[in-house]
Structure 1
Amino acid sequence: MNFDLKSLALPDAAAEKCDLLVLLIAEDFRPGSDPLSSLVAHALKNKDLEAKPGKTLQLYQVPAVAARRVVLAGAGNGSAKAVRQAVQACAAALKGPAVKRAVLCFAAGAQPDAVASAVQAVADATYVYTTTKPQAEAGVLARVTLGVPDKAAAQVAFARGQALAAGVGLAREWANRPANHATPTLLADAAKALAKHARIQCKVMGPAEVAKLGMGAFMAVARGSEQPLRFIELRYSGAAKADAPVVLVGKGITFDTGGISIKPAAEMDEMKFDMGGAASVLGVFRALAELQPAINVVGLIPACENMPDGRAVKPGDVVTSMSGQTIEILNTDAEGRLVLCDALTYAARFKPAAMVDIATLTGACVIALGGVRSGLFASTDALAEALQQAGEAALDPCWRMPLDDDYAEGLKSHFADVANVAGRAGGAVTAAKFLQRFVGDTPWAHLDIAGTAWKSGAAKGGTGRPVGLLVQYLLEQAARPAPAAARKPRAVRSRAA
């Protein structure tokens, strides 16, 4: 979809030729003397419209308005969250089969965050999966003009909204692909395609390279699949070479049967979404390609399938991770932590400022937080606070969970340094405690997105989360002032006595 930005007052909006005009009406709306202002004022006065987010009034062939359809949408206080709700309420109208060009216009002032939110909300509301359903392309909205009072003031936020829309869209598309259209090799190809953008490089390693690195835990998970594993390394270089990067590690299980500890058949098809962490890393790099912030970022994706072949790892098997720690695999369906632990060990070679892993890791996190907030575990308060604030600002929230050492007691093993599961109680926390063993002293956070990476039921599909949270965090880190260079003390000559 193509977006453009225009300075539009209400009289200008009325003259825009389009299939649909959506007017965002905030609570502080003050009508002018033009026809659209009068229309909105009358609708509000007669209580046919409320300025609350989510309230709409649909009109057809309004006199003195060039658009065929008009939707008046309440936008509350005009915040990013209220504007997102307003656009979501207009989703059906935006996806109308005859709507090829739409204008979304702020009837009054437009806050920068609300401008970015409007672009993302339109892209989200009109997203249509097409990879294996090409006929779905018919009737897709092709162009959206965003009307604001001051184009120059909104330009930066508009560009940010476009970049995030592109990143979230890429993450959703790859998460939605069936597993036979999103194999580890195809996922690696998607990463390679990102390297066509400025400042992005991609390196892909196969079984031989991974074996040479000693990634025994990662290799154990991949053993049962005919699809060869891929270890994907993306680099975005936006700052000085000496600047420590942020490393993002995305779980890339492109299909998870559970292995020998096989899952129930019901809803197993949704295990194609088990590479949601990997998809989010791809989405972040797509957004970085557009935004070009002054920061260095490394993305690592251990990608493989978890299948129950005769060669597959068995419950009770012991494997040696890249760190040298041995792991007793009590449950082969706890495979995500096995591929992540080797990737986290590998990440240390970049001497990162921080590491964040993103994974659809535990059903326990879904029970704890549902589909509203991602689970956040962090080794430092500073990193936890930065990620939580970024999530709130991006409307992609998370919630900090504990990492008390007592939770690691259940991971003790008689036959290895650590077991890969610790029972049902506190399952999301014990999984995080397992990962924490492999991060050393580097500030580290783990985002469990098992409840937020996709939706089930009638709205089944990938959400693209937490691309918004991660991009916001990276932009905030890039905007931080560089620490002042340490000054060398001036040499003082001693005087002869």
Structure 2
Amino acid sequence: MEVKFRDQQAEHVRTDLLAVPVKESEIEGALLRRLDRRLRGGLAERIRRSRFTASEGSALLYTTSGMLPAANLLLVGLGKGEEIDADSWRKAGARARKEASAQGAREIGFFFAPDKDGESAAAAAVVEGISLAAYQFEKYRSERKPATAIQRVTFFRPGLKSSDALARAAGLAQDIAPGVCLARDLVNEPPSVTTARFLGEQARRHCRGRGLTVEVWNKKKIQQMKLAGLLAVNRGSVEEPRFIVIRYKPQGKAKKRVALIGKGITFDSGGLSLKPAKSMETMKLDMAGGAAIIGAMSRLPVLRPQVEVTGYIPTTDNLPSGSAQKPGDVIRYLNGKTVEVLNTDAEGRLILADGLALAAKEKPDYMINLATLTGACMVALGNEVAGIFSNRQALAEKLIGCGREAGEKLWQLPLVKEYREEIKSSVADIKNIGGSYGGAITAALLLQEFVADIPWAHLDIAGPAFAEKDSPLCPKGGTGFGVRTLVKFLTTL
């Protein structure tokens, strides 16, 4: 998709569809009055009849019938001026993309007049919205919806002097979007397809380019590396586990070294602590943390951050069988810690502990793990917000800020030291599940046992990793949550 920037007024733009973002306070503003004069009063009448108020995410389509050079005019609501942020622009771009597709338009003109100091972020958000809204996963449908490819997006900004900064921001947004879509694809595949072997193959396929190397360890290698948590969870499966290691090294000296650890449970039945049938329906999503790391790292050769990054993805399914791990089993980890398994459905933390312990041996500057870890986090924060836990406040604040800019909401939750009593075991160092309350916190406290004193953050993405219904930026299914936050973090260190 080609992106251009031009100095031109809205009423002179020739394009298939001209999107004009409108604040609630601008319904009777000068721009819409000018357009209405060209449209002989028809626009004001349509606004009145449709009760268009420019609330965030709303839109009004008007066919110009030759009265404007643009074939179609789309008013896109931004909401209240004081509440407009990057996500408002992102949704505006997504709405423009969906309307363009419905009209069969191949070119979008976007009239663009944000505050001067935020115009690069707004341009990037619009391009990101247009790119992400195009996503579809229809490979298993017998009848597929026709999709119109947008060939060109042109931003029109009156008085534009230089477009260099805008073009760089828009280009970065375009570079990130394929990583998000890759993560969505991996989550949306059926669990009969997405085995541990498949996930390793996809990492090899997509994580190519300058500076990237991929290793996929088989069961024999996993045994040699003493990754006991992954082996324990895999005991019930007929599919062998894999441990994926993706390394990115920049040209020249790296500013920092970062370890990313992602949960890769390709399907979670709960094991012998079996889930109810209803709770299993979407459990193909349980590898979304690993998918986000593959998606983010696949873009690093293009983005070229000056940091060294290693991704660790332990992957298996979690199924019951006569050979499956049992409540009461004890696992001895690479760092010497022992964990008593009291609930086999609390398996994500068992395999993440392997990844964290292995990463800690290399002593990176930062460790960040992503996992669809606990229903307790969803109870606390819902489906739109991920929980973040960290042993360094500065790291937590940095990631929260990156998420805010990227359009991914993070909310900090505490590592309450008193709750460590909840995971003390009578037969091992710790047990894999706490009491009835604070489950997201006790899960995070278990993970903290494996990070030494390295700056670390745990993102519990159980809520936002999977959309239960369509949204402007994403259809129902995998969202690719975490890719944009990770990329923002890595490119701003």
> TM (normalized to structure 2)?
0.89
Aligned partner of residue 165 in structure 1, secondary structure: helix
Is 1:24 aligned to residue 21 of structure 2?
A: yes
Deviation at 1:380, TM superposition (A): 0.8
Matched, 1:174 2:180: no
Partner of 1:59: 62
Cα distance in 2 for residues equivalent to 1:9 and 1:262 = 62
Residue 462 of structure 1: aligned partner: 478
Q: Closer, same or farther in 2 for the Cα pair 1:311/1:36, shift >3 Å?
A: farther
Match of 2:218 in 1: 206
Question: Which of 397, 401, 409 matches 1:397?
Answer: 409
Aligned to 2:9: 10
CA offset digits 1:33-75 (Å, max 9, x no partner): 9868855998469854544432322112432445543312133
Letter in 1 for 2:491: L
Superposed displacement of residue 260, structure 1: 0.6
Range moving further from structure 2, 44-53 or 260-269: 44-53
1:307-338 Cα shifts (integer Å, max 9, x gaps): 11221111111121222212111000000000
1:70 equivalent in alignment to 2:73: yes
One-letter code aligned to 1:453: A
* Paired residue secondary structure (1:283): helix
**Are 2:361 and 1:362 aligned?**
no
How many Å apart are 1:8 and its aligned residue? 5.5
Once the two structures are TM-superposed, the CA of residue 358 in structure 1 deviates from its matched residue by 0.2
Structure 2 partner of 1:489: none
Which residue of 114, 118, 128 corresponds with 2:122? Answer: 114
Change over 3 Å in CA distance of 1:64–1:8 after alignment to 2? farther
Report if the CA contact (8 A) 1:81-1:395 is conserved. yes
| Alignment CA distance shift 1:381-1:107 (3 Å) | closer
User: Counterpart amino acid of 1:81?
Assistant: D
Equivalent residue for 1:143, pick from 151, 167, 173: 151
If the length of structure 1 is used for normalisation, what is the TM-score? 0.88
**In structure 2, what is the Cα distance between the partners aligned to 1:282 and 1:352?**
19
The DSSP-based 3-state class of the residue aligned with 1:469 is: helix
| Equivalent residues of 1:148, 1:154 under 8 A apart | no
Of 132-141 and 56-65, deviating more is 132-141
SS at match of 1:15: coil
Kept in 1: contact 2:332–2:338 (CA 8 A): yes
For 1:236 and 1:64, the matched residues in 2 are separated by: 54
CA distance in 1 between counterparts of 2:36 and 2:377 reads 48
Output the amino acid matched with 2:483. Answer: V
Native 8 Å contact 2:91 2:126 kept in 1:
no
CA contact (8 A) 2:286 2:372 kept: yes
Is the partner of 1:327 in helix, strand or coil?
strand
Cα 1:243–1:107 change in 2 (3 A) is closer
Does the CA-based 8 Å contact 2:465-2:481 persist in structure 1?
yes
Aligned counterparts of 2:12 and 2:113: Cα–Cα separation in 1 = 12
**Residues 72 and 41 of structure 1: CA distance in aligned 2, closer, same or farther (over 3 Å):** farther
Q: How does 1:141-290 map to 2 (within 5 A)?
A: 141-149=149-157, 150=160, 151-238=163-250, 240-241=252-253, 243-290=255-302
1:6: how far off? 3.7
Give 2:479's aligned amino acid.
T
Greater shift in the superposed pair: 296-305 or 356-365: 296-305
Quick one: distance in 2 between partners of 1:112 and 1:39? 31
Mapping of residues 467-482 of structure 1, within 5 Å: 467-477=483-493
Asked if the contact 1:244–1:351 (Cα under 8 Å) also holds between the matched residues in 2, the reply is: no
For residues 269-327 of structure 1, give each alpha carbon's deviation from its aligned partner in whole angstroms, at most 9, with x where no partner exists: 20000011011101211332322122221111111111112211111111212222121
The equivalences for 1:31-110 within 5 A come to 31=31, 38-39=38-39, 43=43, 48=48, 49-76=52-79, 77=81, 79-90=85-96, 92-96=98-102, 99-109=104-114
Over 3 Å counting, the alpha-carbon distance change for 1:45 and 1:245 in structure 2 is: farther
Indicate conservation of the 8 Å contact 2:255/2:306, yes or no: no
DSSP-derived class of the 1:300 partner: strand
1:332 to 334, 344, 356: 344
**What amino acid is aligned across from residue 59 of structure 1 in structure 2?**
Y
Return the offset for 1:79: 3.9
Offset of residue 106 of structure 1: 2.4
SS across alignment from 2:277: coil
Label 1:13 to 1:193 Cα distance change in 2 as closer, same or farther (>3 A): farther
Q: 1:42 to 1:288 in 2, by over 3 A?
A: farther
8 Å contact from structure 1 (residues 221, 312) kept in 2: yes
Alignment partners' CA distance in 2, 1:251 and 1:94: 37
Identity, % of aligned pairs?
35
Are residues 45 and 79 of structure 1, via their aligned partners in 2, closer, same or farther at CA, if it must alter by over 3 Å?
Answer: farther
- How many residue pairs match? The answer is 473
Label 1:416 to 1:190 Cα distance change in 2 as closer, same or farther (>3 A): same
- The Cα shift of 1:12 comes to 8.3
CA distance in 2, matches of 1:342, 1:279: 18
CA-to-aligned-CA distance 1:155-212 (integer Å, 9 cap, x gap): 1110111122112111111111111221111111111123322221111111111100
Amino acid at match of 2:20: L
Q: Is the 8 A contact 1:388 1:399 kept in 2?
A: yes
Deviation larger for 428-437 or 346-355: 346-355
Q: Which moved more, 1:231-240 or 1:57-66?
A: 57-66
Seen in structure 2, the aligned counterparts of structure 1 residues 41 and 245 have a Cα distance that, compared at 3 Å, is farther
Q: Deviation of residue 32 (structure 1)?
A: 10
Which residues of structure 1 form unaligned runs of 5+?
478-497
CA distance in 2, matches of 1:47, 1:456: 32
Asked whether the 8 Å contact 1:50–1:56 carries over to 2, the reply is no
Question: What do residues 419-451 of structure 1 show as CA deviations (whole Å, max 9, x unaligned)?
Answer: 110122100000000000000010000000001
Aligned to 2:459: 447
Task: Give the 3-state SS of the residue equivalent to 1:75 in structure 2.
Answer: strand
Does the 8 A contact of 1:10 with 1:107 survive in 2?
no
The change in CA–CA distance for 1:301 and 1:145 in structure 2 (over 3 A counts) is same
Cα drift, residue 10 of structure 1: 3.4
Quickly say closer, same or farther: Cα 1:31–1:21, change in 2 above 3 A.
closer
Q: Distance in 2 between matches of 1:55 and 1:289?
A: 37
Given that 1:256 and 1:271 are in contact with CA atoms closer than 8 Å, whether structure 2 keeps it comes out as yes
Distance in 1 between residues matched to 2:75 and 2:282, nearest whole Å: 37
CA distance in structure 1 between the partners assigned to 2:253 and 2:222 by the alignment? 26
Counterparts in 2 of 1:277 and 1:464: CA distance versus 1, 3 Å: same
